Structure formats: C-alpha cells, structure tokens
Amino acid sequence: MTPRFVLAFLLALALCAPAATAAATSADPSALSLLRAATQAPLHLSFTGQVELLTIGSHGSQVAVFRVDHRSPDLTRRWYLAPSGVYGDSTISRGDTTYAVDIRRRRVVVTHNESFGVHVGWRRNLDLLRRNYVPVMGPMDQIAGRPVRTISLVNRYNGATTMRLWIDAATNLMLQRQQYAADGSLVTQMRFDTIRYTQEIPLSLFTPPASYATTPGPSRGVPSDNPSRVMAHCGFAAKAPRYLPEGFTPVAADLADENGVRTLHLLYSDGLRTVSLFENARGAAVDMSGYHPSAFTAGALRGQAVDQGPTTLLAWSQGRLRFALVGDLNRNELEKIAASIASP
C-alpha cells in the first residue's frame, strides 16, 4: 500500500474561528434547511470557477489552486494551477469513474467505482451528521463577490465547532469551508476565489486526451453498506476496530486490487469526519518515502505515522497482515483505534 492510495479517499474529500465552548442542544431549523439545500445544489447547478485549497500540517502549510468546471449533475473537471509540480494536470470525474490526467507522463489513470464519496457525502449521511452535530446559523458574509450565509457545525459531545460553511445566498452552493482542530485552530480551508454560474460548459472538457496512454488505477469493488459481509468475503482473516470515538459508526466497505494485492477498505464516519482502515494479507508495508514519518506506540503496537493537515495516517504490521489507518482525528484517538484493532 502507498500513502497516496490510502490518503486519496480523504485528501480528496476532494476544510479564523475559535471553537465553541459549550455544546448546543438543538439545531436551528433554518440552518438545517440550508444545509440540506447545500447538499443538493451541485446536482442541479453548473458552474466554473477558481478554488484555493489550504492545508495546515505539522510540517508547514500547503496550498493547491485549481480551476473547476462542473456540469450538473455529475461531470466535474479540476485543472491544477499550483503547486508548480502539478501545473496542468487535471482530474475528470464522470459519475463514479475518475480520470487522472498526468501531462508529464502523457498518461491517464482510470479508476472505476469511485463512489466512496457518496458514502461519506452529506447527501447520504445527513441524518448521521444531524445525530452528532448541531448546525447553527451565523452572520451574512461575502465570498467571491457573492453574498453568503454561514453555518457552524457544533459537535454534540464536546461542544467544539468542527466546521464552518459559507453558502451562496442565491444558489445554495457552498463557496467556502473551514475545518478546525480540537483546539479551534484552522487546519483546512476550501474557498472559491471566483465563481460563475453557466449552462454553457462544453462536454469536451470532460473527455481525457485521446493521445495519452491509458493506465488502470486500483480495481475497486462497488462499495457495500454491509462491512461485515465484505470482511467475510475478503479472503483473509480481517480485523475491525473494537473502539470508535463517540458518534462514529461503520458506513461502507469495499475490496480493491492494487498491483495484484487484494485490499480491504472499511469506512467509518460521524457524518462529517471519516476514518478509513485498509488491510491486506500479503502486500508490502506502507511506503513512507517522500513523507516525514514518526514512530508511534499504542500498547504493544509499534508503527509509523504521518500527519498531513487534519488527516493522520498510521501504518503497522501484525503477523501477515498489513494495516493503514487514516482519518480526520488527532493522533491519540487514532492510536486508540489502532490498539483496539491489534488487541487479541
């Protein structure tokens, strides 16, 4: 398993304010209605714009800038402008198929069944989100020259504002999203610098270059809502966590084939944050080259960790099994989950 493989599900999902100090007990009905409308907006809006994605990690900040073209309901192209190493590259999503266009290698990596986003998306998990977070309306603001309404999502268990959303007052499209750490510090921000709504987006934008070589990405099965059933048919003695933080529950699972190695992916969510567990029985350990790993210890467990913005990756081996745990949680929480997986 490679870090790019195990981080891709979360870093793509494809988020300065202090945390709240007291848990809210009831949702603002207008905030809940606006949140529901924002989950549906991309299904019927077509637009083009420029987006900046800021990630603040333990080794500094990273900024990605891309042009986005979206033709409702499910055609999206992201064309990268920064950083310089990916300038000109793009990703094209057509339903549950993704085409990653690499202009330097003149190739297109095609991945099918990219529908895990549906399983962690708010359209599907809005009820789960409502059980664990309280949406609260905030003041009006302006993003990309457009009036927006703001919503804070307050965790019911610790009272912290985990995310804040800026939603176009006229169209209900989300134009900015900020995610905060447990101490209230900003860890990620997605922001539209420009936005233009239009129906005149040519279909040719969503077709990868015909002259490029086509390479298959990881072969994934269709995500299942029954993780226990997927585990039972993965072909090895898979293990699941015995501990999950408050509000988290299993939501989906699938099987992927990467370089001939069958890998099980179990997905857990509280409706907003996600945790993914990847495991296989005969693959190599996670390749940490190009990252800045540190050692971690959780009970008798020993492994390596990578912190990247709000996302932390833990990797370890146990007998023949190789594990990678990645999620939008702090290191201590992920280590407790890892220890519960490793326990007899």
Has residue 194 been placed in a domain?
no
Total domains, the chain = 1
Q: What local confidence, expressed as pLDDT, does residue 132 receive?
A: 93
Torsion of CA 117, 230, 249, 309, to 10 degrees: -50
Has residue 292 been placed in a domain?
yes
Has residue 173 been placed in a domain?
no
Has residue 157 been placed in a domain?
no
Q: What local confidence, expressed as pLDDT, does residue 13 receive?
A: 38
- The answer to whether 271 touches 133, Cβ cutoff 8 Å, is yes
Contacts for 202 with CB less than 8 Å, ≥ 6 apart: none
- The answer to whether 250 touches 267, Cβ cutoff 8 Å, is yes
Has residue 187 been placed in a domain?
no
Has residue 315 been placed in a domain?
yes
Provide the whole-model pTM: 0.83
Q: What local confidence, expressed as pLDDT, does residue 331 receive?
A: 87
- The answer to whether 62 touches 7, Cβ cutoff 8 Å, is no
- Cα 296 to its chain centre, rounded Å, is 23
Q: What local confidence, expressed as pLDDT, does residue 113 receive?
A: 65
Which domain, by its residues, includes 227? 218-342
Has residue 285 been placed in a domain?
yes
**Residues in the chain with pLDDT values less than 70:** 1-27, 58-59, 113-124, 218-222, 283-285, 287-290, 309
Has residue 39 been placed in a domain?
no
Task: Supply the CATH number for residue 308's domain.
Answer: 3.30.200.100
